[in-house]
Amino acid sequence: MTTDNRQMWGDLGIDLERHDALLNALLPIYKEFYLSQRNRPKGMEFFDFVVGDIHGIRVQELRQHAMNGGKVVATYCVFVPEEIVLAADAIPVGLCAGTQFSVPIAEEVLPRNTCALIKSSFGFKLGRICPYVQTSHLVVGETTCDGKKKMFEILGEYQPVYIMEVPNKKTQASHDLWRGEVMAFKEVIERLTGNEVVADKLAQATKLVNDRRRALQRLYNTRKARPVPISGKDAMLVTQVSFYDDVARCVQQVNGLCDEVEGRIAAGEGVFPPDTPRILISGSPMAIPNWKLHHILETAGAAVVCEESCTGTRYFSDLVPEDGGTVERQLGNIADRYMQIHCACFTPNDERLDDIVRLTREYQVDGVVHYNLQFCHTYANEAVKVARVLAKEGIPLLRIETDYSDEDAGQLRTRVDAFLEMIRKCSVLD
């Protein structure tokens, strides 16, 4: 931790005492969860560095950009089109928070029975402990779920907030509404930055964001191998970091990691034995540093091989066409791509069920863990249908409802152990 960083955090209005406590809590957990893993790819060293310096160099870059007259746009959901932000020479940064540390701070204002992701994110602003939110000029919220929607109203008392209306259905009228929202967002970003979004810049930004999607798709494809060449914890960390790292640098680092991991596959090397039970996690997003469930699963003898979530496949699954054209045409393509994100905020949302079944086959999954943040009603209710469809497919399912605290870690471990035991027995009988 350098004096320069402390000076910067102080200048950003960070509560230094709380911030020290956060970093002092985070880094030992990282060491225990991550650095203790055996046979990690060398390419993870970059991501270790990023976490070790989580509020350092990247914040300095954003601050430098702001001092040069640029804008930083903070987002909380994968529905916000980063292409538009980048095309206006602004920098998008994902703000969702995954730590219990900021939850009690948020509970001074928000109701306790709100999902941990919402409370953690809001607590970061209220407690002045996140330099990313402090650096940002605009927070872009959305109407995906009621808790977030109402939290954004309160957040607006502390920071400029703009809300995009995400429809709840997938009808033509909903598509039209969303296209209108994407067009309006372009104008908001143009006003914020003073830069017009022109066709060439939008095409370049689209290619760049697609490059990151392609790199993450490539990484996830390596996880289809048996034995799996990278742990679930490491793969998820790569996705989490990609929400706030520089996009071009992230593409380069992820592709470098993929070169190495693909080499492992060619050599038949893995991080776990070939007969390790393979798990798909499906459900609510896991924002950094929410590594609890992955850690429990992988230290109990499972391999997490895929995440059907917004910190997983929903983040990068579909590309925006790169055939250019007018700004309007490109914005239409962008809007259509984002409407393919099968968030539980939609009704009906059968495409997500199809995705889960397809992913269980592609990743040769032995069981699914449905992960639900407590008080997240959309995913909790959709889990009923997920359970039905998996029962029909004969795929074992464990439904977990939890928060960011460690209080239930022992109980979760017991349930995970029993689930893995059941999977192992089934595979013997097969």
Residues in contact with ligand SF4 by CB under 6 A are 77-79, 115, 117-118, 144-145, 147-148, 284-285, 310, 314, 341, 343, 345, 373, 376, 378-379
CB of 429 to ligand SF4, least distance (A): 36
| C-beta of 343 vs 386, nearer to ligand SF4 | 343
CB of 348 to ligand SF4, least distance (A): 15
| C-beta of 270 vs 312, nearer to ligand SF4 | 312
Of 79, 87, 115, the residue nearest 195 (C-alpha): 87
CB of 77 to ligand SF4, least distance (A): 3
| C-beta of 310 vs 320, nearer to ligand SF4 | 310
The dihedral region occupied by 5, where left means phi > 0, alpha psi between -120 and 50, and beta the remainder, is alpha
Please compute, for residue 246, the number of CA atoms within 13 A of its CA located in the half-sphere on the CB side: 13
CB of 99 to ligand SF4, least distance (A): 14
Q: Is 372 helix (H, G, I), strand (E, B) or coil?
A: strand
| C-beta of 56 vs 94, nearer to ligand SF4 | 94
CB of 207 to ligand SF4, least distance (A): 23
Length of the chain: 430
CB of 377 to ligand SF4, least distance (A): 7
Q: Beta strand 397-402 with 367-373: parallel, antiparallel or unpaired?
A: parallel
What is the dihedral sign for C-alpha 108, 109, 111, 116? negative
| C-beta of 121 vs 231, nearer to ligand SF4 | 121
CB of 364 to ligand SF4, least distance (A): 25
Rounded alpha-carbon distances, angstroms, from residue 121 to 6, 100, 135, 379: 22, 10, 15, 19
Q: Beta strand 367-373 with 91-94: parallel, antiparallel or unpaired?
A: unpaired
| C-beta of 117 vs 139, nearer to ligand SF4 | 117
Tokens of 18: 């709380």
Contact (CB, 8 A) for 307 and 286 = yes
In whole angstroms, give the CA distance from residue 50 to residue 340.
31
In whole angstroms, give the CA distance from residue 248 to residue 251.
5
How many CB atoms lie under 10 A from the CB of residue 106?
Answer: 25
| C-beta of 336 vs 417, nearer to ligand SF4 | 336
